């Protein structure tokens, strides 16, 4: 049976598909697993396990991540990646640090790096401060995230209260001094080293310096560099990507993200699509019957979107009335049920917006693995579930305004996926 070479644990589903897309750019076979598989399976060289632990209680998150690590190691993976959000999304109790600590202990390593930077998507780290576009994290739209509002931009300061080990910084001047300077710093370091990275060239330097680390933590962008480095160094055996399977027609967008970019994308798509808006307070009183009836009345081929996406004020009002967790769960459960309905109606092309939302929808579809296909936008690939179903899991802030239409165009006859 083929063995895994690299194993990643992602704290949410969009994050997992983002990482899988970045690895796929190097032409290596990547399998995205939905939850920890049970027992041995035919492994790809690159395995990514999607968990839904970003906002889970710390003990649950650590427990699931450790189970994922055991499975990956059992499949042969010796290089491990802990994938979290490029905007360092974590609650006040935060799972990023505790999971990193637990993985370090299990891997018997006393140093790791934290690299959330993703310059292609506007996430940069300078002197430990995380920027989203031209704004510090705590001034960016992430300050209003429904589940993980980010109120500080300093990654070391966010991480320190979450971990048992020391937290240090590989600062920009060292990164720009090159691979030897970073390697020397890391070889003397212990604990969690946050690394600055402003441009892609910094990621290449860091990936070179970290290529032999047992554990790397962060966003997906640094991982893009790793397959090429391992291949060039002779560590990675020859691997080839697989062809894409056929996809059936019928399309729908399900959006539970309230991020700034998703709000713009929903607004743009509503100019061409039939739309149904879900409201958590109405869901709590009236349930889902209206939304399900609306979906049944839609032609399969029509452009259509069901969304709970709302402005921060409306989100706040729903949370004040219902509580944060219940408001979120009502929306996630509703979109999960509607995804099942869509599949039952023969719809084959589903775009989901939002990390938590993607977790709820994908689980509801009872898919256990996805083949990773071409990217619609940086970090958002089409994934293939089998039976002619394609799913794209879009992180809240990824993509441009016309993302939803572009995604379906790729699957149209003559589109870039259909043409393969
Ligand atoms: N109108 C709303 N009011 C309150 N919560 C909402 C609303 N719409 C969506 N949510 C919840 O907000 C959360 C958004 O998180 P997520 O799906 O991870 O999106 P993102 O990728 O933008 O972070 C989900 O739990 C979702 O159910
Ligand atoms: O690293 C990233 O930004 C994404 O891969 C990610 O984790 C997305 O999370 P959501 O914004 O919650 O979808």
Digit-coded pLDDT (tens) for 220-233: 999 999 999 999 98
The verdict on the CB of residue 327 being under 6 Å from ligand 1 is yes
The verdict on the CB of residue 359 being under 6 Å from ligand 1 is no
What is the DSSP secondary structure assignment for residue 12, as one 8-state letter? S
- 74 and 198 belong to one structural domain: yes
Ligand 1: distance of its center to the CA of 327 in Å?
A: 8
The last residue of one of the domains, among 232, 259, 287, is 232
CATH number for 338: 3.40.980.20
- 226 and 260 belong to one structural domain: no
Sign of CA dihedral 246, 252, 257, 260: positive
Range(s) of the domain holding residue 148: 6-232
| Nearest protein Cα to ligand 1, atom 27 | 328
| Higher pLDDT pick, 413 / 296 | 296
Q: What is the pLDDT of residue 179?
A: 98
Write out pLDDT tens, residues 151-207.
999 999 999 999 999 999 999 999 999 999 999 999 999 999 999 999 999 999 999
Residue 80, φ and ψ in degrees, nearest 5: -120, 140
What is the DSSP secondary structure assignment for residue 160, as one 8-state letter? G
Return the residue matching tokens 């889970």: 56
| Nearest protein Cα to ligand 1, atom 26 | 328
Strand, helix or coil at 101? helix
Structure tokens at 281: 């307070």
Structure tokens at 289: 């019957």
Query: pTM of the predicted model, to two decimals?
Result: 0.92
To the nearest 5 percent, what fractions of the chain are helix, strand and coil?
40, 20, 35
Mean pLDDT for the stretch of residues 38-47:
85
Residue 22, φ and ψ in degrees, nearest 5: -65, -40
Which percentage of the chain shows pLDDT scores above 70?
Answer: 97
Q: How many residues does the chain have?
A: 420
Mean pLDDT for the stretch of residues 408-415:
85
Give the C-alpha separation, 398 to 182, whole Å: 30
If one counts the domains in the chain, the total is 2
The last residue of one of the domains, among 205, 232, 259, is 232
Ligand 2: distance of its center to the CA of 180 in Å?
A: 31
The last residue of one of the domains, among 185, 203, 232, is 232
The interface pTM score, or ipTM, of the predicted complex is 0.96
Strand, helix or coil at 330? helix
| Nearest protein Cα to ligand 1, atom 24 | 328
- 12 and 134 belong to one structural domain: yes
Q: How confident is the model at residue 419 (pLDDT cuts 50, 70, 90)?
A: very low
The verdict on the CB of residue 258 being under 6 Å from ligand 1 is yes
Q: What is the pLDDT of residue 296?
A: 96
């Amino acid at each position: 049976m083929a063995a895994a070479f690299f194993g990643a644990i992602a704290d949410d589903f969009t994050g997992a598909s983002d990482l899988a897309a970045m690895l796929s750019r190097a032409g290596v076979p990547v399998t995205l697993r939905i939850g920890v598989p049970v027992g041995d399976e035919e492994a790809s060289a690159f395995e990514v396990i999607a968990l839904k632990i970003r906002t889970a209680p710390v003990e649950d998150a650590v427990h699931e991540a450790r189970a994922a690590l055991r499975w990956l190691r059992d499949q042969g993976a010796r290089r491990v990646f802990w994938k979290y959000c490029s905007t360092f999304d974590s609650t006040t109790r935060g799972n990023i640090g505790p999971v990193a600590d637990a993985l370090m202990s299990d891997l018997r390593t006393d140093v790791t790096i934290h690299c959330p930077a993703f310059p292609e998507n506007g996430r940069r780290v300078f002197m430990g401060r995380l920027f989203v576009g031209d704004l510090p994290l705590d001034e960016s739209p992430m300050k209003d995230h429904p589940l993980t509002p980010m109120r500080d931009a300093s990654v070391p300061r966010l991480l320190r209260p979450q971990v048992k080990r020391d937290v240090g910084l590989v600062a920009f001047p060292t990164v720009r001094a090159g691979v030897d300077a970073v390697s020397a710093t890391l070889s003397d370091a212990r604990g969690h080293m946050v690394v600055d990275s402003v441009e892609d060239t910094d990621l290449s330097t860091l990936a070179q310096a970290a290529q032999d680390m047992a554990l790397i933590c962060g966003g997906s962008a640094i991982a893009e560099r790793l397959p090429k480095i391992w291949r060039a160094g002779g560590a990675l055996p020859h691997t080839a990507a697989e062809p894409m399977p056929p996809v059936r027609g019928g399309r729908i967008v399900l959006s539970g993200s309230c991020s700034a970019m998703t709000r713009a994308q929903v607004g743009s798509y509503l100019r061409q699509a039939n739309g149904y808006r879900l409201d958590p307070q109405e869901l709590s009183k009236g349930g889902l019957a209206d939304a399900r009836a609306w979906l049944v009345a839609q032609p399969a081929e029509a452009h259509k979107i069901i969304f709970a996406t709302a402005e921060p004020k409306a989100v706040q009002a729903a949370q004040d009335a219902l509580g944060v967790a219940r408001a979120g769960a009502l929306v996630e459960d509703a979109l999960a049920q509607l995804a099942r309905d869509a599949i039952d109606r023969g719809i084959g092309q589903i775009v989901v917006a939002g990390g938590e939302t993607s977790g709820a929808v994908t689980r509801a579809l009872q898919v256990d693995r996805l083949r990773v296909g071409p990217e619609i936008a940086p970090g958002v690939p089409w994934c293939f579930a089998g039976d002619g179903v394609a799913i794209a899991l879009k992180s809240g802030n990824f993509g441009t305004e016309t993302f939803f239409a572009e995604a379906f165009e790729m699957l149209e006859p003559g589109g870039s996926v259909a043409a393969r």
